[in-house]
Structure 1
Amino acid sequence: MGCFSFLKTMMFVFNGIIFLGGVAVLGIGVWVKVDGGSFLQILGSAAPQLMQVVNVGYLCIAVGGFLILMGFLGCCGAVKESRCMLMLFFIIILIIFIAEVAGAVVVLAFSSVSRIFIEYLGNVAVKYLHYQYGESDELTTIWNATMKELKCCGFYSYEDFTNSTYYQRNQQYPPVCCANISPCQKYKIDPDVKGCLAAFEHFFSRNGKIVGGVALGICALELAAMIVSLVLFCHIGNSA
C-alpha cells in the first residue's frame, strides 16, 4: 500500500507540474493573440532578443492545450483512481513514444528517405522564401529569428532570395543576411554565411550529444510515466 501511495503521489505531482505549465503556455498564447501590444511592450523591455518569436500564439495555444489535457488525465486518473483516464493517458504517451522511435529509426536507417524529405522540405522552404517572405508577417518573423540565431541566410544560401518578391520590392536582401546592415546588397554579404540547412547541420554536429541526451531523457520520462500509469491501472483493477 505504501508503494502504491508513493506512485500515486508522484503521478499527481508530475502531472500537476505539466498541467500548470500547460496553463501558463496557453495563457501566453491567448495573451499574444488577444492583446499582443501589451505583451510586446513587456517582452521588449524584459528580453528584446525574443521580440522576433512572439508571433507563435497559435502554437502556444495548441501546446498549452495538449499539456493541460495530459496533466488533467494524469492527475485525475491518479487521484480518482480512474482506470479509464489512466489507460487513456498511457495510450497517448505510448503513441507519442512510438512516433518518436519510428522517426529516429527512419532517420538513422533510411538515409535515402531522409534525403528525399530534406529535398522536399527545401523545395517548400525556398518557395515560401521566394513568394511569402516579406508578405506574411508571421513567416517573416520566424525566418528572421531563425537566420539571426543560426547566423545563416536562406535555406540553401542567400541566393534563395534572388529575384524573390522581397528582393524585387526592396532591391536588397534581408538585412539579417548582412548582420543588419541596410541596404543589404550581394557584395555586403559575408561569404562565410551559410544557408540555414548547412548551419543547422553544423549546429547538430557540434551539439549532437546534447540533443541526443535530451531526447533520451524525454524518452526515459515517457517510459516512466507509462510504467507508473500501467502499475496504477493494474493495482486499481486488482483492488476492485
Structure 2
Amino acid sequence: MADKGNAGLIAMVVFGNAVILLCGLALFAETIWAVTDPYYVYPVLGATGKDDVFAGGWIGIFCGFSFFLLGIYGIVAAIKGSRTMLMVYLVLMMIVYIFECASCITSFTHRDYMVNTNIIKAQMLTRFSDNSSSTSIEVTNFWKRIMLERKCCGVDGPQDWVNYASTFRTSHMESEAPWPFWCCARNDNFEILNVDGCRVGLSPYVFTEGCFQHIGHAIDSYTWGISWFGFAILMWTMLVMFVTMYHYFTM
C-alpha cells in the first residue's frame, strides 16, 4: 500500500511539473512579446517614469525560463526518488516563486497608475510639439502615429486640444489649427481629405474618437500576459510544491 501511495504521489509530482514546464514556456514567450512592445506605448510609460510594467516583463522572462528548467528537474527528481534532488528543487522553486510574485505585483500596480486619462492627457498636452528633449520628441512621434493609425484624436477626443492649454497651442493659433492635423482623415496617399472641414471639426474629416481606449487596451494586454497569467502559474506551482513536500516527508 505504501508503494502504491508513493507511486501515486510520484505521478502527481511528475504531472504537476509537466504542466509547470509547459506554462513556463508559455510565460517566457508571452513576456518576450510584451517587452518587445508591439503596440509601441513605451514612450508614454517611459515619459512618466512608470515603465515598471516592462520591468515586470523582464523578470517574467527569467521566471518563465526558470519554471521550464525546474519543471524538467522536478520530474527527474521525482522519478529518481532522490531526497537531495527534491530538496534542491523545492529551494530553487521557492526562489523563482518569489521573483514571479514580484513580477506580477510590479506590473499590475503600475498598470493601475497608467490607466488614468488625466495622467496621459497632461503628458500629451505638455510634451506634444515640444522638441526640447528626446523624450518629448518620442512622445510627439507616438501621438502622431497612434492618431493616424487608429483614426483617433487626443485622449478623449479633439476637444482636448481646445479645452486645455498645451505646448501645441503656443505654436499654433486655434483659428488655424484647433488640433494637430494628424487628427484629420486622409486618403490612401496620406493626403488630408479636406483641410477646412478638419479645421472646423466636421466629423467626416476629423477623427472624433479619443485614443485612450487604444492605449489602455495595449497596457491591459501586457498586464494580462505578465501579471494574470503569471498569477495563475503561481497558484498551480503552489499546489505542486505542497504535493512535492508531502512526498519528500513520506519517502
TM-score (norm 2): 0.54
Q: Write the deviation string for residues 156-185 of structure 1: whole angstroms up to 9, x where unpaired.
A: 443555774588389755443111344956
Give the C-alpha shift of residue 6 in structure 1: 0.9
Q: 2:17 aligns with which of 4, 8, 27?
A: 8
d(CA) in 2 for partners of 1:227 and 1:167? 53
* Structure 2 counterparts to residues 1-240 of structure 1, below 5 A: 1-20=10-29, 53=40, 65-81=58-74, 82-95=89-102, 117-129=116-128, 131=130, 136-158=136-158, 160-161=160-161, 164-165=167-168, 168=171, 174-180=180-186, 181-182=191-192, 184=195, 187=199, 189-191=201-203, 193-194=207-208, 196=210, 200=213, 219=228, 221-238=229-246, 239=248
Higher normalized helix content (fraction of residues) = 1
Q: Secondary structure at the match of 1:196?
A: coil
Please list the CA deviations of residues 202-235 of structure 1 after superposition, one character each: whole Å capped at 9, or x if unmatched. x99xx9xxx89x969x74x445412321123233
SS at match of 1:147: helix
Higher RCO structure (Cα 8 Å, ≥6 apart):
2
Alpha-carbon separation, structure 2, partners of 1:62 and 1:224: 19
Structure 1, unaligned stretches of length 5 or more?
A: 30-49, 108-112
Provide the C-alpha distance between the structure 2 equivalents of 1:232 and 1:141, rounded to a whole number of angstroms.
Answer: 47
Larger Rg belongs to: 2
SS of equivalent to 2:155: coil
% identical equivalent positions: 14
Indicate if the aligned counterparts of 1:157 and 1:194 stay in contact, CA closer than 8 A. yes
Contact 1:53 1:145 in 2 (8 A): no
**Once the 2 structures are TM-superposed, how far is the Cα of residue 95 of structure 1 from its aligned partner?**
4.6
- Provide runs of 4+ in structure 1 moved above 6 Å: 58-61, 99-104
Q: Is the 8 A contact 1:153 1:177 kept in 2?
A: yes
CA contact (8 A) 1:155 1:196 kept: yes
CA offset at residue 12 of structure 1?
A: 0.9
1:62 Cα deviation from its structure 2 partner: 5.5
Once residues 127 and 29 of structure 2 are traced to their aligned partners in structure 1, the CA distance between those partners, rounded to angstroms, is: 36
Question: Do 1:89 and 1:229's aligned partners in 2 also have CA atoms closer than 8 Å?
Answer: no
Counterpart residue identity of residue 2, structure 1: A
1:80: how far off? 2.9
Change (3 A) 1:101 1:200: closer
Q: What residue ranges of structure 2 are gaps of 5+ in the alignment? A: 1-9, 75-88
Normalising by structure 1, we get a TM-score of 0.55
8 Å contact 1:178–1:190 — kept in the other structure? no
Aligned length: 199
The separation in 1 between residues aligned to 2:114 and 2:233, in whole angstroms, is 30
Q: Secondary structure at 2:95's aligned position in 1? A: helix
C-alpha distance in 1, partners of 2:30/2:122?
36
Alignment RMSD, CA only? 5.1
